[in-house]
Amino acid sequence: MARLRVAVLISGRGSNLQALVNACAEPAFPAEIDLVISNEPEAGGLALAEAGGVATRIVNHRDFSDRPPFDAALTAALTEAGSDLVCLAGFKRLLTTAFVERWRDRLINIHPSLLPAFKGLHVHERVIKAGVRITGCTVHFVRPEMDDGPIIVQETVPVAADDTPEGLAERVLAAEHRCYPLALRLIAEGRVTVAGKVVTITGSDPLPAGFLNPRDA
Active site residues: 111
Q: Provide the residue type at 158 as one letter.
A: P
Write the DSSP symbol of residue 217.
Answer: -
Find the length of the chain.
Answer: 217
C-beta contacts of 164-167 below 8 A and 24+ residues apart: 164/128, 165/124, 165/125, 165/128, 166/124
Helices (H), ranges, 52-95 = 67-81
Enter the DSSP assignment of 216: B
Q: Amino acid identity of 58? A: I
- From residue 102, give the alpha-carbon distance in Å to each of 79, 85, 126, 177: 11, 12, 33, 27
Strand 85-88, strand 4-10: pairing: parallel
- Cα separation, 151 vs 156, in Å, equals 14
